[in-house]
Structure 1
């Protein structure tokens, strides 16, 4: 079976400003792949340097599908812009987790992407 049930992203940051149209808004995204035959119920908890964690935010990834979730879209509470954070992703089914950031503070956009750290064996 492909995937794991725990993932960690130790680095996160949503820039306070963006350059260009709404499609180029600076953001952090997790891309979740569920290759199983059942829906995956995922929880995302966000950690900070100087405040209590927030979440868990709940995400469902349908069976044999992928879902892209922007940290910018988490509400109650909203993830603050301009503040460093980390996250832990836990799922009741094995999933694959990839982390992507678009930093559009300048006209010359920066994009980074990496597979998150798998936490369970």
Structure 2
């Protein structure tokens, strides 16, 4: 079986500004999740900050044998993830999944894209 139940992304930052057309070129952080199982994955994402208590869980679903990309700047409940502030996240799933972290920084016309694998727990 591919994946783990717990993943950590210690790096997070949503730039406050963007250039180019939205939503495609809006600066954002995202977690890309692959669910290669035959069951829907229910995710709980908790956000950690430098100087305040964690927020979450944000609940997301990835259907069986599918992938989904979740932009942190689109998270609303229990509260929006702030821009211009460092954060980290832990993703917990009820079935094994694979997670990757991506950031699009479009503050300048010369865009920057960063992508790395999340850290698998357990």
Give the TM-score of the pair, scaled to structure 1. 0.98
Which consecutive unaligned segments of at least 5 residues does structure 2 have?
A: none
**Alignment correspondent of 1:96:** 98
How many residue pairs align between the two structures? Answer: 120
Q: For residue 7 of structure 2, what is the aligned residue in structure 1?
A: 7
Q: CA deviation at 1:52?
A: 1.0
Q: Is residue 37 of structure 2 the alignment partner of residue 31 of structure 1? A: no
**Equivalent residue number for residue 110 of structure 2:** 108
Compute the RMSD of aligned alpha carbons. Answer: 0.5
Runs of 4 or more above 6 Å deviation: none
Q: Which residue of 2 aligns with 1:60?
A: 61
- Work out the CA distance in 1 between the residues paired with 2:19 and 2:61: 31
The structural deviation recorded for 1:21 is 1.1
Deviations 1:15-73 (A, max 9, x none): 00011111200000100000001001001000000011111000111000001100011
CA distance in 1, matches of 2:74, 2:20: 19
Unaligned runs of 5+ in 1: none
What secondary structure sits across from 2:6 in the alignment?
Answer: strand
